[in-house]
């Protein structure tokens, strides 16, 4: 089965492809020759994921999925959440988002946080949603060079290294996105035996 992954984020594509392996053929927007920026205007990860997969499905008629992630920090009542990408303002860098987060959490002992990912899959016009959660904490200083986004300041439960100190394979043992993708793969495998009507 061929699926378009409706994202322009090459890190996300790399993570999902490494996880899915050759079970299914995954095409990034770039590989599908689609040049589009889809806005994420909604207040929930699920709605933002849905609008991205729906846009690509309507454009191509090909099965596709999209994903939206938020970093939910307990001491900030779940913020930045759905606004994680633009926490420091529209068009700001990963670095600036991290700086703002560390500044706001400075001196706070409660540093629990979680990444939550919502995946929206559309096959034959029918949408299914999957969720993946990774619990952990925000550390005081960025560590590591790998990954992207908030990876340098996030340490998952049961680890001492930040996501940015792990290889893709190591990160995928904990990672919110791969947990949601595991549910998606399990769902697709049921379709292989029972195609949708």
Q: DSSP letter for 3, please.
A: E
**Beta carbons of 11 and 17 less than 8 angstroms apart:** no
47-66 residues in contact with ligand IMP (CB under 6 A) are none
* 74 classed as catalytic: no
Per-residue x/- track, 85-124, ligand IMP (CB under 6 A): x--------x--x-----------------x---------
Tell me: does residue 73 bind ligand IMP (CB under 6 A): no
Closest of 102, 119, 120 to residue 111, by C-alpha:
102
Q: Residue from 151, 162, 179, 180 that binds ligand IMP (CB under 6 A)?
A: 151
Considering the complex, state which of residue 3 and residue 117 has its C-beta at the smaller distance from ligand IMP.
Answer: 117
Angle in degrees, CA 181, 102, 12, rounded to 5: 20
Tell me: does residue 149 bind ligand IMP (CB under 6 A): yes
Catalytic position from the list 35, 68, 125, 135: 68
**Beta carbons of 88 and 100 less than 8 angstroms apart:** yes
Q: Residue from 50, 63, 84, 120 that binds ligand IMP (CB under 6 A)?
A: 84
129-148 residues in contact with ligand IMP (CB under 6 A) are 147-148
Provide φ and ψ at 151, rounded to 5°. -50, -40
The DSSP result for 111-155, as a single string, is -EEEEEEEEEEEETTEEEEEEEEEEEEE-SS---SSS-TTGGGEE
- For ligand IMP, the binding residues (CB under 6 A) are 9, 40, 68-69, 71, 84-85, 94, 97, 115, 147-151, 163, 177
């Amino acid at each position: 089965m061929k699926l378009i992954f409706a994202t322009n984020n090459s890190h996300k594509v790399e993570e999902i492809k490494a996880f899915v392996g050759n079970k299914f053929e995954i095409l990034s927007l770039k590989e599908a020759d689609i040049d589009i920026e889809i806005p994420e205007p909604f207040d929930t990860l699920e709605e933002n994921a849905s609008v991205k997969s729906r846009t690509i499905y309507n454009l191509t008629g090909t099965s596709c999925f999209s994903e939206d992630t938020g970093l939910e920090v307990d001491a900030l009542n779940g913020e930045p959440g759905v606004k994680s990408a633009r926490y420091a303002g529209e068009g700001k860098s990963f670095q600036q988002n991290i700086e703002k987060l560390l500044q706001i959490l400075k001196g706070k002992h409660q540093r629990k946080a979680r990444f939550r990912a919502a995946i929206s899959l559309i096959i034959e016009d029918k949408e299914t949603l999957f969720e993946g959660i990774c619990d952990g904490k925000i550390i005081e200083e960025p560590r590591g060079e790998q990954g992207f986004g908030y990876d340098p300041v996030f340490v998952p439960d049961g680890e001492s290294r930040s996501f940015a100190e792990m290889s893709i394979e190591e990160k995928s043992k904990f990672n919110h996105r791969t947990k949601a993708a595991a549910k998606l793969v399990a769902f697709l495998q049921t379709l292989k035996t029972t195609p949708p009507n």
